Chain A
């Protein structure tokens, strides 16, 4: 790992942790601060970053993880009741998403895949808007520019290239800003994807482009161990974090169920990117406890013992243990979190029922940004066709 890629003074210490995995095929160590036992450990590099997280922030982490888990349960129930066409559960991945999301700054732009409901929550996306796509009333749902949180992308890995291009744009803007003495804060991009998507060619191309241009992008891979029914071992022979070395930038495996470590590592990576030191790959080692989507059945492809083992590493339980043991939260806090979650679930349920079905005319309106005669022609035909039914009704009366 070249010293130019790391902040001054961190190379040696980082080498002592997971970031400097040795040969590509060798096992990689994992950055972990808050263990499954709820006890806080240390790391030569990332403990300094963890120290920035004050007790209030820890309570926010817990609240957000609990809220999004509750939301996930509600959305799953809504799907089972036929209110959503499909749902993509995130349970198990709360720490990876809440920890990394909170490490981002408002000026950073996020490219999610389609399971980043926790990141969406952190970025203040209205969760009812997030459900529009799954209810079949929109292919998007929110204005990406409002919270710098892009639309979900269903084609695996396509957004990793958009993220790199966007980061290249930021790079150009920053050069321009430097020339004009602008005081705009420096920005970076996070590209989320999964272990399954890591097999897609676009991930490879995005890493080549990011490395070649030193683009300020953090690749955040949630290795949740299953691409629908296919395990990670079929996607990669080497730990995913180790792949970064081949592209020439740092790769870090972090315990994805440890919200403190995820936050610390992501904050480090984003600073690295914003300061012009190039991309970073973070592999959040986690587990998708439920199904890939409500359309598949995990009992057909994996052992329940595996799920049980991962439940032992639950991200919420371990932070709760820590907060209680350190006296950072009391019973009233946890009761309040539960009440907040139920309130959110109620909100989501009622707003989902109320989500308006769009008029197909809206779809005609947004195919092109500029006037396109074929669209006008087909819309005119549709209007005439629809009007025919109206006059039939009048005649019937």
Chain B
């Protein structure tokens, strides 16, 4: 066991992949000599050279589009998009090209591209630096969407993403980059399905589902609820596509209540999909409607008021109260 931050864990995971897979390479703006604006790729250009760690022109569509070509030639490119709100110039390449080439070729071609995107708010940043666009991509078949919430998962999930033959969007919870945790570099501890959801806290009265940056918030809310004598289960999804409904369903059948928390706006978000599926699968086990805690239907607000926008302990506790009142 080694203790490290999430940022360092991703850095070490990338280092392991670059070492193990000669065809893997990193590409993005400022990822080489600067080491990335969050230093996630720090030191890698020194170790692997500028053929494996490319400082690219400033062009998101160009980064993803050329990564597709490299993947078609047998390489394993890992792209960095500097911030969530800047992924949109590449949206076309991701949704109309990357997601569909395997299907269009009836499985003859694979495009194992990984796109790393630091996402989410809570760091007091300016416009376009705090968004959570995961639902936009999860809605597109052909893509896998994952997000780690702790250092151990970050270290292993980035390596699994690079090994995966499908395109993977790897959403990094940027406000947790400096969160330290223990990493077992010997043993991933992941099941045969590396992206299975994880019950991080067991309970019997209600279930809170979260992923990425909100997992620590959900855990804190669950801990606070114990002071009121409540026993709350917390699930870290880890993967949004595929989404592990089985684990959520099993938990709901035990607790009868479900709260879903994510930073993205609730309307059309992943929470709605989970709520709908769980009502189909476990309607008679539900003691209360599924409640979503998420962002408002507005552009991500200015940093000085983001606390009012972001799901926090109090908002989750309020949702728990509403659920438990049924």
Contact = CB atoms under 8 A, between A and B. Distances in A.
Q: Tell me, yes or no, whether A binds B.
A: yes
Interface of A: 138-140, 143-145, 150-151, 153, 155, 158, 160-170, 172-173, 175, 201-202, 205-206, 208-209, 212, 362-363, 365-370, 372-374
Contact of B66 (A145, A209, A362): A209
Interface stretch (B13-21, B91-99, B215-223): B91-99
Contacts of B77: 165
Contacts of A368: 102, 142, 144, 166
A5 B100 CA distance: 36
B36 interface: no
Contacts of B110: 369
Contacts of A208: 57, 59, 62
Given A158-B93, A205-B57, A144 B69 contact: no
B109 A144 contact: yes
In the A-B complex, the 9 residue pairs with the smallest Cβ-Cβ separation, listed nearest first, are A165-B69, A161-B65, A169-B73, A165-B66, A205-B62, A369-B165, A166-B69, A366-B107, A162-B69
A160 B108 CA distance: 21
B303 interface: no
A140 B69 contact: no
A209 B68 contact: no
A205 B109 contact: no
A145 B69 CA distance: 13
Given A161-B66, A165-B72, A367-B103, 16 more contacts: A140-B105, A144-B109, A155-B97, A158-B65, A158-B96, A161-B65, A162-B69, A165-B65, A168-B73, A202-B65, A212-B56, A363-B103, A367-B142, A368-B144, A370-B165, A374-B241
B93 to A, nearest CB: 6
A164 to B, nearest CB: 5
Contacts of A143: 105, 108
A26 to B, nearest CB: 28
Contacts of B242: 372-374
Interface of B: 51, 56-57, 59, 61-62, 64-75, 77, 89, 92-93, 96-97, 100-110, 112, 141-142, 144, 164-166, 193, 241-246
B304 to A, nearest CB: 34
A198 to B, nearest CB: 15
Nearest to B60: A205
A163 B66 CA distance: 7
Contact of B73 (A161, A170, A372): A170
Contacts of B72: 150, 162, 165-166, 169
Given A161-B93, A166-B73, A367-B141, A205 B103 contact: no
Given A158-B97, A161-B62, A144 B73 contact: no
14 contacts: A140-B106, A143-B105, A145-B109, A161-B62, A161-B66, A165-B72, A169-B74, A172-B51, A205-B65, A206-B66, A208-B59, A209-B59, A368-B144, A372-B166
A166 B70 contact: yes
A240 B243 CA distance: 47
Nearest to B101: A151
Contact of B106 (A160, A172, A362, A370): A362
Contact of B69 (A164, A175, A374): A164
Contact of A370 (B65, B68, B166): B166
A360 to B, nearest CB: 12
Contacts of B69: 161-169
A155 B68 CA distance: 15
A370 B112 CA distance: 11
A367 B51 CA distance: 31
B68 A165 contact: yes
A167 B72 CA distance: 10
Contacts of B97: 153, 155, 158, 162
B66 A168 contact: yes
A162 B69 CA distance: 4
A172 B75 contact: yes
A117 to B, nearest CB: 18
A302 to B, nearest CB: 30
B105 A162 contact: no
A161 B61 contact: yes
Contacts of A212: 56-57
Nearest to B89: A201
B98 to A, nearest CB: 10
B92 A158 contact: yes
A77 B69 CA distance: 36
Contacts of B246: 373
Nearest to B75: A169
B239 to A, nearest CB: 10
Contacts of B165: 369-370
A201 B96 CA distance: 15
B68 to A, nearest CB: 5
B70 A165 contact: yes
A26 B163 CA distance: 51
B166 A369 contact: yes
B166 A155 contact: no
Nearest to B65: A161
Nearest to A167: B69
A362 to B, nearest CB: 7
B59 A205 contact: yes
Contacts of B100: 139
A107 to B, nearest CB: 12
A207 to B, nearest CB: 10
Given A165-B68, A202-B65, A208-B62, A144 B105 contact: yes
Contacts of B65: 158, 160-162, 164-165, 202, 205-206
Contact of A155 (B57, B96, B241): B96
A27 B53 CA distance: 41
A209 B68 CA distance: 13
B279 to A, nearest CB: 16
Contacts of B106: 138, 140, 362, 366
B217 to A, nearest CB: 27
